[in-house]
Amino acid sequence: MAKKSDISKTISRRSILKAGALGSVAMSAPMFYAKNAWAESAIGNYPIEGDTVMLGFNVPQTGAYADEGADELRAYKLAVTHLNNGGGMLDTFKPSKLTGSGILGKKVDYVVGDTQTKADAARTSARRMIERDKIIMLTGGSSSGIAIAQQYLASEMGIIFMAGLTHSNDTTGKDKRRYGFRHFFNAEMTGIALSPILAETYGKERRAFHLTADYSWGHTQYDAMKRGTEAQGWTTVNNLMTPVGAPDFSQYLTEVLSSDADILVLNHYGKDMVNSLSQAVEFGMRELQKNGKTMEIVVPLFSRLMAQGAGSSKIQGVLGTTNWNWSLQDEGSQAFVKAFEAEYGFPPSMAAHTCYCQTLLYANACEVAGTFYPPEVIKALEGFEFDGMGNGKTLYRAEDHQCFKDILVVKGKSPADKTGEFDLLELVGTTPRETVTYDASIFGGELGPYEPA
């Protein structure tokens, strides 16, 4: 034993010297880190070499939001096809400089990454696409924490990030970045848009009990709903934070039953919402009489995928907001739905819609700027006003990179009313853009510089 360690002692000393020499040789040689990223006028992966432009689609292929991710990816692929060959919303999107033959004469290509519905994994795969695959734009992300994590990385590396499905106020609030843009609406808008319709439907003398998913999005959603409904005269009885991915909500629902609340607000998304809503219905909450009124359930963020999960017998009459629904009759929506159905055989989700729009909006901003140089593209997006993408007139606000558009308030259809498997939501009303526009400074945060450090 002693002999062995003596040997290793002499070897180690020598080998350390050798390692040192080797290190200095390696340092002086050209290597793959020596990209021009930090030289003057080169930002991120600009300038692009060759005649293809690479986009990076980072979506959850595994994990809790894998269903949304799969639909997002379908939309991205469709967007690339349309950018290269025309079709889809290219015919309805105005004002648009898109030609249907790539972006600025370059053919559009893409790479895909898996965020695994985890922030760290999302950053790692984003890094692969940025460093190895030389993407000029990064997009994707379901879940706000993951979108925010990628947005910071993209800003540091000088890559524009077009956020996908993220509804937390933080994304364009306290965590807003110069290189991050969001087309999707947010919790604040949900609160403003939904509350008046709730008061109109259920009356002003209501007592609400909230169940909230315990993370960034849930917190901002609860906060916005509380402020919105209280402004209408409602009372907030209580709020319980529930862990994300909880399989059973009965302990929380029992508390709701024993309180004097006559409204249950479910600040849940995805599977959580499907589970909590189903259990609340099984508890008989929708027939219950409290304070002389029928108890009602509200789901602030509604999506067709969730409605499908819960089933129309449970969601009938439940009110909520949504970013977009495939049944909209305007030109833009119809063009997108037609192209999507022709390709995949079923209608797109709202996640697919926002991702598709984001890709086109980025491409158009490059055409407007006449360059891929990120600061110019950012300037082209800031304050850009457009139409024909399914949400009416929409503005990309310069101060916080949030899109402002009319917000759709929807109601679950009853089994008798629905005409098909995917026909689950009925439009109750739209809250105009002016009403949901809030002051950009209320959440704090800084966009940061146009040129990354």
- Please list every residue from 380 through 419 that binds another protein, using CB under 8 A: none
Rounded-to-integer distance, Cα 90 and Cα 359, Å: 11
Write the CB contacts of 441 (distance below 8 Å, at least 6 apart in sequence).
399
Backbone angles phi, psi at 216, to 5 degrees: -35, -55
Rounded-to-integer distance, Cα 142 and Cα 65, Å: 7
Q: Which two tokens stand for residue 222?
A: 């609860």
Strand partners, 62: none
- Does residue number 271 form part of the binding site for another protein (CB under 8 A)? no
- Does residue number 128 form part of the binding site for another protein (CB under 8 A)? yes
CA distances from 271 to 51, 60, 305, 347, 429 (A): 43, 15, 10, 20, 26
CA atoms 350, 213, 178, 433: torsion sign: positive
Q: For the chain, state the CA radius of gyration.
A: 25
Rounded-to-integer distance, Cα 135 and Cα 338, Å: 29
Q: Give the shortest CB-124-to-another protein separation in angstroms.
A: 6
Rounded-to-integer distance, Cα 135 and Cα 110, Å: 8
Task: Single out the residue of 92, 125, 212, 354 in contact with another protein (rule: CB under 8 A).
Answer: 125
Residue holding tokens 């800003």?
Answer: 155
Pick the piece of the chain touching another protein (CB under 8 A) from 94-102, 169-177, 195-203, 420-428.
169-177
Task: Single out the residue of 36, 52, 62, 313 in contact with another protein (rule: CB under 8 A).
Answer: 62
Q: Give the shortest CB-26-to-another protein separation in angstroms.
A: 5
CA atoms 233, 237, 241, 246: torsion sign: negative
DSSP track, 308-360: HHH-HHHHBT-EEEES--TT--SHHHHHHHHHHHHHHSS---HHHHHHHHHHH
Rounded-to-integer distance, Cα 411 and Cα 339, Å: 26
- Does residue number 153 form part of the binding site for another protein (CB under 8 A)? yes
Task: Single out the residue of 67, 109, 131, 423 in contact with another protein (rule: CB under 8 A).
Answer: 131
- Does residue number 77 form part of the binding site for another protein (CB under 8 A)? no
Task: Single out the residue of 114, 296, 367, 400 in contact with another protein (rule: CB under 8 A).
Answer: 114
- Does residue number 112 form part of the binding site for another protein (CB under 8 A)? yes
Residue with smaller CB distance to another protein, 34 or 416? 34
Q: Give the shortest CB-240-to-another protein separation in angstroms.
A: 13
- Please list every residue from 6 through 35 that binds another protein, using CB under 8 A: 8, 11-12, 14-16, 18-19, 22-23, 26-27, 29, 31-34
Residue with smaller CB distance to another protein, 57 or 422? 57
Residue with smaller CB distance to another protein, 48 or 197? 48
Task: Single out the residue of 77, 97, 107, 127 in contact with another protein (rule: CB under 8 A).
Answer: 127
- Does residue number 169 form part of the binding site for another protein (CB under 8 A)? no
- Please list every residue from 433 through 452 that binds another protein, using CB under 8 A: 446, 448-449, 452
Other beta carbons within 10 angstroms of residue 24's beta carbon come to 8
Q: Give the shortest CB-237-to-another protein separation in angstroms.
A: 22
The distance in angstroms from the start CA to the end CA of the chain is 54
Task: Single out the residue of 48, 111, 257, 428 in contact with another protein (rule: CB under 8 A).
Answer: 111
Task: Single out the residue of 148, 198, 224, 280 in contact with another protein (rule: CB under 8 A).
Answer: 148
Q: Give the shortest CB-260-to-another protein separation in angstroms.
A: 27
- Does residue number 367 form part of the binding site for another protein (CB under 8 A)? no
Q: Give the shortest CB-313-to-another protein separation in angstroms.
A: 32
Rounded-to-integer distance, Cα 28 and Cα 176, Å: 39
Number of residues that bind another protein (CB under 8 A): 59
DSSP track, 52-102: EEEEEEEE-SSSTTHHHHHHHHHHHHHHHHHHHH--GGGGT-BS----SS-
Task: Single out the residue of 80, 121, 297, 407 in contact with another protein (rule: CB under 8 A).
Answer: 121
Task: Single out the residue of 58, 61, 323, 354 in contact with another protein (rule: CB under 8 A).
Answer: 61
Q: Give the shortest CB-432-to-another protein separation in angstroms.
A: 31
Strand partners, 319: 298, 411
Per-position x/- string for 206-225, each x denoting binding to another protein as judged by CB under 8 A, each - no binding: --------xxx---------
Binding site for another protein (CB under 8 A): 1, 4-5, 8, 11-12, 14-16, 18-19, 22-23, 26-27, 29, 31-34, 61-62, 66, 70, 111-114, 118-121, 123-125, 127-128, 131-132, 144-145, 148-149, 152-153, 155-156, 170, 175, 177, 214-216, 241, 446, 448-449, 452-453
